[in-house]
Amino acid sequence: MKKLSGLLVLAVGLLIASVPLFAHHGTAGYDTANATTVNGTVTEFQFVNPHVQIFFDAKDDKGKVEKWQAALTSPNHLARTGWNRSSLKPGDAVTITGFRAKSGANSIWIVKIIANGQELKLSGGD
């Protein structure tokens, strides 16, 4: 009985200790109260875990080129909606709508993307 109680305490302790491993940062670093739309040209597309990354150039109000980074969900999730490693290519024109980084960096969490005039699905329910 004592051995069983010890194993139970150990199992519960391991379970509690593992909770942070399942935590996810999500969109905590982004201003989810205000959507922003940015037009640009893809410079790099990374179909990698944990989040797909799009790097693109966009012009500011004065015409100066700015480097931007945009994040999406996992490649596995996007693959179920038809995305793959060649969904975007350098030179593709993009209009990205999403939540800008709270830090003010040129970083955005994508909620809608139009590439070369076509909206790309982000989830199966769209």
Q: What does the pLDDT look like over 57-112, one tens digit per residue? A: 999 999 999 999 999 999 999 999 999 999 999 999 999 999 999 999 999 999 99
Please answer whether residues 30 and 99 qualify as being in contact, where contact means their C-beta atoms are separated by less than 8 angstroms. yes
| DSSP H/E element including 113 | strand 107-115
Please answer whether residues 49 and 72 qualify as being in contact, where contact means their C-beta atoms are separated by less than 8 angstroms. no
Name the 3-class secondary structure at 58.
Answer: strand
Find the mean pLDDT for residues 4-16: 51
Does 121 have pLDDT greater than 80?
A: yes
Does 22 have pLDDT greater than 80?
A: no
Could you please state the CATH topology (level 3) that the domain comprising 30-120 is classified under.
Answer: OB fold (Dihydrolipoamide Acetyltransferase, E2P) (2.40.50)
∠ Cα 41 100 114 (to 5°): 40
What are the sequence ranges of the domains in the chain? 30-120
The CA distances from residue 73 to 13, 38, 40, 57, 61, in Å, are 31, 19, 20, 21, 29
DSSP type of residue 1: -
Classify strands 93-101 and 30-46 as parallel, antiparallel or unpaired.
antiparallel
Tell me which of 2 and 13 has the higher pLDDT: 2
Task: Provide the pLDDT for residue 17.
Answer: 44
| pLDDT above 90 as % of the chain | 74
Tell me which of 121 and 25 has the higher pLDDT: 121
Does 30 have pLDDT greater than 70?
A: yes
Task: Provide the pLDDT for residue 6.
Answer: 54
Please answer whether residues 84 and 47 qualify as being in contact, where contact means their C-beta atoms are separated by less than 8 angstroms. yes
